[in-house]
A and B are shown apart, each in its own frame.
Chain A
Amino acid sequence: MPERKRRAPTRPASPLSRQHPPVRDLVSAMAAVLPKRLPGLRWFGGKGRTIAWMTPMDAAPLPGSDGFLALFDVAYTDGGHEVYQVPAVADADGAPADALEDPTFRTALLQGIRTGATLAGQNGTFYLRPTAAAAALVPAPGTPAILVAGEQSNSSVVFGGEIILKLFRKVETGINPDDEIPRFLTDATSFRGVPPLIGSIEYETAGERTTLAIVQVYVQSDGDAWTLIQQRLHDYFTAAGGNGAEPDPAFSRALAAADAKEADRLGRLTAQLHLALASAPAGTPLAPEPIGSQDVATWQAEMAAQLEQALAAARAALDRLPPAARRPLEDLLADDAHLRENLTGLHHLLAAGPVQKIRIHGDYHLGQVLKSGTEFRIIDFEGEPVRPLAQRRGKQCALKDVAGMLRSYAYAVEAALRAADAPGTDLASWADAWKAGVRSAFVDGYLAATQGAPFLPRDRPSLDTVLSVFELDKAVYELCYEIAHRPDWVAIPVAALRRPFLPGGRTVPARQRIATEPFRFGACLELVEFVGVRAENERQLMELLEEVPLDSIYYHTHSFFLRHKFLAGTYPNDFANWAAGQVRDRTLGERLAMVDPGTFPDLAALRDELVAVIDDHLRALPMVPGILLGEPFEFLQSWLVEVPTGQEATNLQELRDVLLQIDLTAIYYHLMEARMRLGRGQNDFAAWVEQALGLSALAADLRAVDPYAHGLERTRARLVQLCDVALADGAD
C-alpha cells in the first residue's frame, strides 16, 4: 500500500504506552515527525516552502478507537502559518501514524457522527454531527470503510460503497463551502444535483467554527465527466481518422452531436444549481446581493494582478519552453497591451440594470461532475483550494462557473487531440467542430434554463463580454499553472488568450485581427475513373443511381465544378444536363437541376432524392424517355489527390489575397470537398473566419455562398468580395 511507503522513518521509539497513549505524547510525537513526512504527501499545500516548526494545536480521543482527532499548526520560514488536520494513532511499533489508515478509527469516526458525539479538546470542542437525512442512510456497524486515493486538499473514506467521508487536511477557520453549500442545497432547496449531506465534523474554539470533515451520500457513478469525455473523444477522433483508423465521418458527427446534447443537459443543470443558490432568502448568509462598482473594481484588480504574475512567469520561462509552445507565447507577449485591454470588461455587469452576485461552485470543471447513466451530480464545493477561505466563500458572478466549464471542455478536447495519433490527418478541425458544438450547446442550455435570472446581465452582448472576460481570466490562471507544471501544455491557454476579442461591445476591426492559427490552403488534383456502367434511358439511370458507389453520385453533382470551372449557365449537375441534353427531356432536366446538393446532410440522402425525383417523373409518363440519338450516361467517379499549396493566411487580408490568385481547385477543395466528403459540416473558410478570427457575421456570409448556382470562378469573386466588405468595415 502506498500509505505504508509514505511512512517516514521515525525517531527512536517513544516511551508511549501502546494501550492508552496519553494524548499529549502521541500528538507531540506526531508533530515531531510531520515536518519530514508532509512534503511527500499529496494534500500538503506548502510544497516548496520550508517548515520552521510544527506545534499541536488541539486534539481529542475518538471513542471506539485508539486514535485522536488532531490539528497542527505549521509555521514556515517565510513567516506564514497553515493548519493541518492529521488524526493520529500509534502504529504497531508505537510510532505515530495517520489514524485514517486505521480501519477501526475510520469506523469509529462514522459511528461518532451517527451518534452526534461531542469531543472535548484542550482548547476547543470537536463536534461530530449528523444531518436530518443521516438516520436512514448511515450504514450498519461493520460496513467496510475504505480509504480512497485522495484529492489535493483532503482524504476520503468510502463506507460500504454508500457513504463518503471527506476529511479536510488543510483547514481554515470558518465554515467550509463544501459543508455549507451542499447543506443548504439539501435542506433548503429542491435541487437534487448534489449528493445529499449526511453529517460533518466541526471544531469550535473561541466562538469560531471550522469544518474538519463532511459526510455525503457516495454517488455510484460511471465516472467523472472528464474521464468519460476523454473516452468519448478517443472514439470521436478514431472515427475521424485518428489512431490509424479508417475515417467514418458520419459516426464522428453522431458522437459530437451526442456530446453536444449532453453539454446542453449539463448547462441546464448548472443553471438549476445557480437558481437554487440564488434562492437563499434575504437576510441569510447565502442571499444574493447586487454587484456594486466596488465588486467590479476588486475583481478586475485581482484579474490584473494574476495577469501580471502570469506574464512575468511567461517571460521568465520562455527560454525553457518547447519551440511549439514558445512561438505563440512570444506573439502573445508581444501584444500584452491588447491582452490587458481584453481583460477589462466587467463593468458591463453594472451597465444595464443591477445584476446579482451569488454563491457559486467556484471551481467548476468536468472533473467535478459525476455521471451515472444520464444523471449528473455536482461535487466538491470547496472552491479553488489555493485561495483563502474568505475568498472562496465570497459571492461571485455566476458566469464564472460557466466560464470554468467552457474552459474545461476546451481542455478536454485538446487533451484528447494530443492523445490521438494521427499524422497527416486534419484532426484539429474536428477538434474545433466538437468544441464549437459543445460550447454553444452548454451556453444555450444554461441560458434557456436561467431565462431572465437576476444574476445574469440582461442583454446578450454584455453577457457575452463578461463571460469572455471570465474565460480569459481562467486561461490566465491555466497559463500560470502550465508554465509551472506542464510546459508542453502552455499552447492550450495561449490559444485561448489570443482569441481576438475586445470587451465593451467594441470589436477589433476585421482588418486588425490576427488569426489564432493560420489558414493552410490545400488544392487538389482529380483522377477520373469510369465505374463501368451506362444508362440509355431514364429508368436505367434511376436504377444505376441506386447501385453505383456514392463517390459516383458525388462526382456527378460536385466534381462537375472542377471540369466546368469557369462555366455557369448549364445545369449544376451531370444528371440534369444528360436528361435535358441527351434525352431531350427538359422537364426531368429542370427537376434534377433543382436538387441542391448543398441541402443534404450526406450523399446517401442526396442519392435518395435524385432517385425519388426520377421515379416521380416516370410515374407520370406513359413511356420511359431514353436516348434516341444522344449519348448514354456514363457513370464516373473520381479520386482526389490533396496537395498542400504551402500558402497560408494569418489574417483576413492575407486570406483574401491568396483567394484571389490561388488555383480554383483549392476553392473547390475548401468549399465542397471539406463539407461533403471530408464531413466537416461547413466550408473551411467560414469555419476559420469564425474560429480563428472570431468574425461570426462574415462566417455566416461565407457559409451562405452558393457555388452550385455560380460556378467556381464567380464563387471566388464572391468570397473575395465578402472579405473586402469585412476588411473595409470599421476602416473609417
Chain B
Amino acid sequence: MSLRLDDYVEVAPRGSLDLLHRLAEQLGGRRFLNVNASRFGGGSPELLGRLVPLLADLGIDVGWEVVVGDPEFYATVHLLEQAIQGPANALPAGRLQAYAEAAAANAATLALEADLVLVHDLAPMPLVRRRPTRGAWVWAGHRDLSNASRHVWNTLRQDVGRYDAAVFALPKFAQRLRIPMLIVHPSIDPLSDKNRELSRAEVQAVLDRLAVPTDKPLLLQVSPFARASALPDVIRTYRAAKQYIDCRLVLAGGGVGDNPEGSAVLAAVREMGAGDPDLDALVLPPDAALEINALQRAATVVLHTPQRAGFGLAVAEAMWKGKPVIGSMAGGIPVQVIYEVTGYTVASVEGAAFRIRQLLQNPDLRARLGGAAREYVRRNFLITRQVGDCLALLARMTRRG
C-alpha cells in the first residue's frame, strides 16, 4: 500500500492539499533526489519512507539513494553522531579521512544528477565533495549540532560548507555557517499507527495488555529511559500533585535493551516507585507505535519535561490526540507548547505539579488546551506541512531567473 496525499484530506488543514498540488504542478519536471544511509529504522529512513511516496504522488520526480560502506564506516558514523551531540573523545584523523572517502566513493555508483539533492545526516554528508556541476545541494542535519565536540565539528564543517544550504529542525540546533541555514520543523504522520484514530475498544485492549488500569486520572510521559529524560523529577512531580488529587503515572519508553545507561535509569525509577501501585514504568520495544498511541489517548495529562531533548515530537503526538501537555523548555518543546494556549511550559518540579493539579481539577481547561493543541499540530506539525516544506525548498533552491 503506497501513501497518497489525498488520504490526508480529512486531517490536513482545509485547502492545504490543493495548495500542494498547485505548487507541485509548477515544479513539474524538476528532479529532487534524497540521499541517506539506510532505508529502514527511525529518523531519516522513517521520514523518507513517507515523504518520498507522497512527493511522487504529487507528480514530483523524486528519488531516494542510499550510501553504503563497510562495518568500519558505520562504526565511525556512529561515533561521529555521538560526538556531534556532546563532549566526546577525539577521533583519529585517519579514521575521519577514511569515513569521508568511503562516503564520497558512493558517488561513482549513485545517480546524483538532479535539480536538488537533499543529503540527510552525517553518513552521506561528504558526498558533496563529488557533487556534479549542475543542481543545488542541501544538507539536512536533523540533529542538534549546538553542543558538537569542537574538534569533530571542525573537521565536518568544511564539507558542510560545500553545500548550497543547510536545513535544521530549530535555529538553536545550528552551528555558525556561511551558507543559508533553513529551518524545517519535523512532523508527525497522522495516519501512522502511532497517531491514527483508535476506537475506545482498541485503546482498552492495549491498556489491558499492558495492565494499565483506568481507575484514576492518568499522567503519562513517553521518553527513553535515559538520564536526559529526568525521570526522577517526573516522579517527584507526580507525588507532589498526588497529595491534592489522586492519580496514576505511567512512564513509557525504550532505550533499555543492552544499553547500560537505560538499565541503570530504569532500575532507579523502579526503586523510587517501589510500593506505589499507581506508578508504572513500561519498557516498550522500538516498534510499539500502537501502544504509545493508545497510552497517549488514555492519558488525562501528558508530561514531557526532559533536561535535554531533540525536537521532542512526542509532544506533538500527544497534542494531536487532544491532550494538554506540560513540558520543559528543552529542545523543540517550547515551539510546540504555547504557554496557556496549547499547554504549559514549566521550569521546576513544583511548577509542573501545580499545573497538574490545575488540569486534573478542571476538565474545561483540559478541553480548551487540548482542542487548541490538536489544531496547532494540524496546522504546524503534520507531515503534509513537511511535504510543503520540501516543495518550497525545491522551489527556492531551483528558482529560475
Give the interface of A toward B (CB within 8 A): 523, 525-530, 532, 534, 563-567, 569-570, 581, 629-632, 634, 636, 639, 641, 643-646, 661-666
Report chain A residues within 8 Å CB of B174: 530, 532
In this assembly, does B18 line the interface, its C-beta being within 8 Å of a C-beta of chain A? yes
Q: How many residues in B have their beta carbons less than 8 Å from beta carbons of A?
A: 39
Closest residue of chain A to B378 (Cβ to Cβ) is: A566
Query: Considering the chains assembled together, what is the distance between the CA atoms of A528 and B167 in angstroms?
Result: 10
Complex CA distance for A631 and B19, rounded to whole angstroms: 34
The one of B13, B14, B26, B181 in contact with A530, judged by C-beta atoms closer than 8 angstroms, is B181
Q: With the chains together, A643 CA to B394 CA distance in Å? A: 13
A663–B341 CB distance below 8 A: no
In the complex, chain B residues whose CB is within 8 Å of the CB of A581: 339
Residue in A closest to B329 when the chains form the complex, CB atoms: A631
25 A-B pairs (CB sep. < 8 Å): A523-B19, A523-B22, A525-B391, A528-B182, A528-B183, A529-B183, A530-B181, A532-B174, A532-B177, A566-B372, A566-B375, A566-B376, A566-B379, A567-B372, A569-B340, A629-B347, A631-B172, A632-B172, A641-B392, A641-B396, A643-B23, A663-B14, A663-B16, A663-B18, A665-B19
CB of B22 within 8 A of CB of A646, answer yes
Q: Is the CB of B392 within 8 A of A532?
A: no
Interface string of B133-171 (1 = CB under 8 A from A): 000000000000000000000000000000000001001
Q: B15 at the A/B interface (Cβ < 8 Å)?
A: yes
Chain B, range 319-357, C-beta contacts under 8 Å to A:
329, 334, 338-341, 347
> Residues of A contacting B372 with CB < 8 Å?
566-567
Task: Verify B182–A527 contact, CB threshold 8 A.
Answer: yes
Judge whether B14 and A634 touch: CB under 8 Å.
no
* Cα–Cα, bound, A527→B393 (Å): 7
A641-B395 contact in complex given A532-B181, A663-B14, C-beta closer than 8 Å: yes
| B334 pairs with A525, CB closer than 8 A | no
Assess the A662–B15 pair: CB atoms within 8 A: yes
Task: Say whether B121 faces chain A, with CB atoms less than 8 Å apart.
Answer: no
B176 interface residue (CB < 8 Å to A): yes
Say whether B19 contacts A525, CB under 8 Å: yes
Given the contacts A567-B338, A570-B341, A532 and B15 also touching, CB distance less than 8 Å: no
Select one of B15, B176, B379 contacting A661, CB under 8 A.
Answer: B15
Question: Nearest chain B CB to A410's CB is how many angstroms away?
Answer: 32
Q: Write the nearest CB–CB distance from A725 to chain B, whole angstroms.
A: 24
A636, B347: Cβ atoms closer than 8 Å: no
Q: Which residues from B are CB-within-8-Å of A528?
A: 182-184
Cα–Cα distance between A96 and B388 once the two chains are bound (Å): 79
A645-B18, A663-B19 known; A527 and B392 CB under 8 Å? yes
Per the bound structure, the CA–CA distance linking A532 and B172 in Å amounts to 10
Chain B 190-239 interface residues, beta-carbon cutoff 8 Å to A: none
Contacts of A666 in B (CB 8 A): 15
Contact of B180 among A529, A566, A569 (CB under 8 A): A529
Q: How far is the CA of A634 from the CA of B174 in the complex (A)?
A: 11
Q: Bits for B367-401, please: 1 = Cβ < 8 Å to A, else 0.
A: 00000100110011000000011011101100000
Q: Are A570 and B14 in contact (CB under 8 A)?
A: no
Which residues on B sit within 8 Å (CB–CB) of A629? 329, 347
Rounded to whole angstroms, the CA-CA distance of A641 and B181 in the bound complex is 17
Complex contact A567–B341 (CB within 8 A): yes
Given contacts A525-B391, A532-B176, 13 further A-B contacts (CB under 8 A): A527-B184, A529-B180, A530-B168, A530-B174, A530-B181, A530-B183, A570-B338, A634-B171, A641-B23, A641-B391, A641-B392, A641-B396, A643-B19
Query: Which residues of chain B have C-beta atoms less than 8 A from A569's C-beta?
Result: 340-341
Given A567-B376, A663-B14: A525 and B23 interface contact (C-beta under 8 Å): yes
Nearest A residue to B165, CB-CB: A529
Q: Which 6 A-B pairs have the closest CB atoms?
A: A663-B15, A634-B171, A530-B171, A527-B392, A528-B183, A530-B181
B349 to chain A, nearest CB (A): 15
Task: List residues of B (118-140) whose CB comes within 8 Å of A's CBs.
Answer: none
Closest to A638 in B: B183
Q: Are A565 and B379 in contact (CB under 8 A)?
A: yes
Whole-angstrom distance between the alpha carbons of A666 and B174 in the complex?
Answer: 31
List of A residues within 8 angstroms of B177 by Cβ? 532
Identify the closest chain B residue to A528 (Cβ). B183
For A646, the chain B residues whose CB sits under 8 A away are 18, 22
Q: Is the CB of A525 within 8 A of B183?
A: no
Contacts of B329 in A (CB 8 A): 629-631
**When the two chains form their complex, are residues A661 and B182 in contact, meaning their CB atoms are under 8 A apart?**
no
| Cα distance, A639 to B389, chains bound together (Å) | 11
With beta carbons under 8 angstroms apart, the residue of A523, A570, A636, A643 that contacts B26 is A643
Of all chain B residues, the one with the shortest Cβ separation from A630 is B329
Bound Cα distance from A534 to B334, whole angstroms: 17
A581-B344 Cα distance, complex, nearest whole Å: 13
| A residues in contact with B176, CB < 8 Å | 532
What is the CA–CA distance of A641 and B23 in the complex, to the nearest angstrom?
9
A665 to B375 Cα, complex, angstroms: 16
- Choose from A526, A530, A534 the contact partner of B392 (Cβ within 8 Å): A526
* Chain B 3-24 interface 0/1 with A at a Cβ cutoff of 8 Å (1 = within): 0000000000111101100110
Give the distance in Å from the alpha carbon of A175 to the alpha carbon of B14 in the complex.
72
User: Measured between alpha carbons, how far is A630 from B22 in the docked complex, in Å?
Assistant: 41
Which residues does chain A contribute within 8 Å of B184, judged by CB atoms? 527-528
B393 — nearest CB in chain A belongs to which residue?
A527
Bound Cα distance from A383 to B161, whole angstroms = 72
Within the complex, the shortest CB–CB distance from B167 to chain A, in Å, comes to 10
Pick the residue among B13, B334, B347, B393 that contacts A664 (CB under 8 A).
Answer: B13
CB distance from B181 to the nearest CB of A (A): 4
C-alpha spacing A631/B330, complex, angstroms: 10
Q: A566-B376, A567-B372, A643-B26 are in contact. Are A636 and B18 (CB under 8 A)?
A: no
A395 to B92, CA, bound (A): 100
- Tell me whether A529 and B393 are in contact (CB under 8 A): no
In the complex, which residues of chain A have a beta carbon less than 8 angstroms from the beta carbon of B19? 523, 525, 643, 645, 663, 665
**Which residue of B334, B339, B376, B392 has the most chain A CB atoms within 10 A of its CB atom?**
B392
Q: Which residues of the other chain, A, contact B389 by a CB distance below 8 angstroms?
A: 525, 527
The smallest beta-carbon distance between A663 and chain B, in angstroms, is: 3
